[in-house]
Amino acid sequence: MRLKARRRLPKMVFDYLEGGAGSERGLARNREALDKILFNPCRLTPVEKRDTSVSLFGKTYSMPLAIAPTGLNGVLWPDGDLVLARAAARYNIPFCLSTASTSTIEEVGRAGDGEKWFQLYVLHREQARLFARRALDAGYTTLILTVDVAVNGRRERDLRSGFKVPFRISPKIAADAVLHPRWTVSQLAHGLPELANFASAEATDASSQAALMNRQMDAGFDWLAFAELRDLWPHKLLIKGLISAEDVILAEKARADGVILSNHGGRQLEDLPAPIDILLRAKAMTSLPLLLDSGVRSGCDIIKALAAGASMALSGRAVLYGLAAAGEAGVREVLDLLISEIDTTLALVGCASADALCPDFLHS
Ligand SMILES: Cc1cc2nc3c(=O)[nH]c(=O)nc-3n(C[C@H](O)[C@H](O)[C@H](O)COP(=O)(O)O)c2cc1C
């Protein structure tokens, strides 16, 4: 799927999807950390009937996976957010819509009857309140506050290619587009994507929407601001982007309902631990549900995360490769692969149910 995505997308767009911050050491570390974990299987346990489902916050999902919030999905495939939301509903897994989405909170709220979570950046209070209110009215059940983007990370591939919304058509970008006609035709046919949630009377085109979003980012957002958000959001509230066990304790004190341990898929600060490497320690220090992303590429990775104490994993790029390669069919192929790998791995480690995974299944 990754190779198919690379073939269909212009290099500049593939680099946006794939790239990490700085020299991409973080990107590599996320994979190494998951790869080095080995299983400690339990043999001669009956596994003829297996259950890949998990429960979280009183709901049961078909597998321990949510689609991570990712911005600009419409650049990968027309109406990318709607495609992902519908696929997630079909598979009964949560879909997280990004603040920087290319369909609006309301459009995605109406797409399919699946579980929808809304991701909020650390925005100025008035804007944060407005988006939280819109998500509430549109039926989102969970709010995710992403806290590792006080400012954007330095993604050197994007800095080099000039990737930003709206595209400025340079000769290099035009040549890239001509070499990838399937992508170019689909984008032209649907109109270039915009930051839909920021579209308004004063921000009618993509460049003023991008400027508005940047102006709204609040690098001064702190635990006090979080407390305000906590008071106004009545449902589950997760913090995404913690990568230290001490911060997880603060999150629990601040009445978060859960934490997504994440280094943003290596896209923000490259020299951070992989979330899987701090999971066991964080788990020992909190009773909050811990979710995890960054580097997850297979069902086997998801089983490792659960065995180490995660309640669920999130996938960014793995699912986006499917979206960029073949739209909904591609997303479904990726989700089919993941659920089948989860099932096979459960059988091979000797655990009949994803909910029963524990550190005993990991080689120490
Ligand atoms: C193309 C792309 C766009 C992203 N946009 C957002 C975003 O808008 N908000 C957010 O909280 N995280 C964003 N992320 C981070 C993901 O939510 C997630 O943390 C990360 O992709 C997990 O790593 P993985 O790609 O290795 O699965 C983005 C990731 C990618 C790859």
List phi, psi (to 5°) of 71.
Answer: -80, 160
Measured by CA distance, the residue closest to atom 29 of ligand 1 is 70
Measured by CA distance, the residue closest to atom 30 of ligand 1 is 70
The pairing of strands 290-292 and 312-315 is parallel
Nearest to 302 by CA among 6, 85, 67, 57: 67
Whose tokens are 């009773």? That residue is 287
Note the helical H segments in 237-316.
245-253, 275-284, 299-307
pLDDT at position 193, please? 92
pLDDT at position 279, please? 98
Distance in angstroms (rounded) separating the CA atoms of residues 158 and 167: 12
Ligand 1 centre to CA of 191 (Å) is 24
268 lines ligand 1 (CB under 6 A): no
CB neighbour list of residue 172: distance below 8 Å, 6 or more residues apart: none
Tell me whether residue 235 is one of the annotated catalytic residues: no
Cβ contact 95:105 at 8 Å: no
Distance in angstroms (rounded) separating the CA atoms of residues 332 and 325: 11
User: What is the atom index within ligand 1 of the atom nearest the CA of 264?
Assistant: 19
Whether this model's pTM surpasses 0.85: yes
Cβ contact 30:266 at 8 Å: yes
For a substitution probing ligand 1, which of 264, 302, 314, 338 has the most ligand atoms within 8 Å of its CB?
A: 264
User: What is the atom index within ligand 1 of the atom nearest the CA of 99?
Assistant: 8
Domains, the chain, in order of start with CATH, read 2-357 (3.20.20.70)
Helix-helix angle 275-284:245-253, to 10 degrees: 50
311 lines ligand 1 (CB under 6 A): no
Other C-beta atoms lying within 10 Å of the C-beta of residue 126:
9
pLDDT at position 221, please? 97
133's tokens = 């209110």
pLDDT tens by residue, 174-228:
999 999 999 999 999 999 899 999 999 889 888 899 999 999 999 999 999 999 9
Q: Where are the beta strands (DSSP E) in 114-200?
A: 116-120, 142-146
Q: Where are the beta strands (DSSP E) in the chain?
A: 54-56, 59-61, 65-67, 95-97, 116-120, 142-146, 236-242, 258-261, 290-292, 312-315
Nearest to 282 by CA among 253, 314, 308: 308
**Mean residue pLDDT across the chain:** 97
- Beta-bridged to residue 97, according to DSSP, are 118
Q: Which amino acid is at 279?
A: L
User: What is the atom index within ligand 1 of the atom nearest the CA of 119?
Assistant: 11
Distance in angstroms (rounded) separating the CA atoms of residues 29 and 143: 28
From 124, 180, 190, 264, the catalytic residue: 264
185's tokens = 């035709």
Ligand 1 centre to CA of 272 (Å) is 16
Burial 94-105 (b: 16+ CB within 10 A, else e): bbbbbbbbbbbb
291 HSE (CA, 13 A, CB side): 27
Cβ contact 173:179 at 8 Å: no
Distance in angstroms (rounded) separating the CA atoms of residues 218 and 155: 20
129's tokens = 């309140």
Nearest to 115 by CA among 72, 66, 78: 66
Q: What's the length of the chain?
A: 364
List phi, psi (to 5°) of 109.
Answer: -55, -35
68 lines ligand 1 (CB under 6 A): yes
Given a cut of 70, the residues of the chain with pLDDT beneath it are: none
pLDDT tens by residue, 51-89:
999 999 999 999 999 999 999 999 999 999 999 999 999
Measured by CA distance, the residue closest to atom 5 of ligand 1 is 70
